[in-house]
Amino acid sequence: MRYPIASDTKPSLTDLLDAAQSEPVFIERDRQEVAVLLSARDYDRLSGKATRAFNDFCDAVADRAAARGLTEEKLEELLKHA
């Protein structure tokens, strides 16, 4: 992890953004951690956005399967032969 000082971040923001793609970047001020720079992917994961998107996807697949006649019984039968 990187620990830049807040006053040092302006000239190297691009470098910090690049680093945040692979690891959290903690920003310090007066020797205290005051912020963390994360990738958008990590933020989505931590905020639950990715989980909600996955659940929405699963619901959509289930709805499409049900519309095509798939029932719990038919699914169990298919899985027996898989």
pLDDT in tens, the chain (82 residues): 666 665 665 657 888 888 999 999 998 888 898 999 999 999 988 888 888 889 999 999 999 999 999 998 998 988 998 7
Q: Which residue has the tokens 């709805």?
A: 63
pTM to 2 decimals?
Answer: 0.51
Measured CA to CA in angstroms, residue 69 lies from 52, 61, 77 at distances of: 26, 13, 14
Residue 67: HSE in the Cβ half-sphere, 13 Å Cα cutoff? 6
**Element housing 64 (H / E):** helix 49-67
Domain boundaries, the chain: 6-41, 48-80
What is the number of other CB atoms lying within 10 angstroms of the CB of residue 14?
8
Distance from C-alpha of 82 to C-alpha of 78, rounded to nearest angstrom? 6
- pLDDT (0 to 100) of residue 70: 93
In the prediction, which pLDDT does 57 show?
Answer: 95
